[in-house]
Amino acid sequence: MGVFNSWDDLEAAFESYQSDTFQMYKLRTSNSIKDRNRSRSKQATKRGSEPALWDESLGYYTKTWNCTH
């Protein structure tokens, strides 16, 4: 399993993988950290607790790719 410092690093490695293996993937969905933090804040408010928020400068916390073949 690889670890990457940014989405750009992961996507560059993933593009290389696709080229090397002749497999093409398309980004299907992505979930922003901003949306996650908003949802976590609402849940924490209902519970009366403090939310564990993530750094929004990262942009996304999940991305899902589908193989196109």
Total-model pTM: 0.68
- Confidence category of residue 2, pLDDT binned at 50, 70, 90: low
Percent of the chain with pLDDT over 90: 83
pLDDT tens by residue, 29-54: 999 999 999 999 999 999 999 999 99
pLDDT of residue 40: 96
∠ Cα 44 4 31 (to 5°) = 40
Contact (CB, 8 A) for 59 and 10 = no
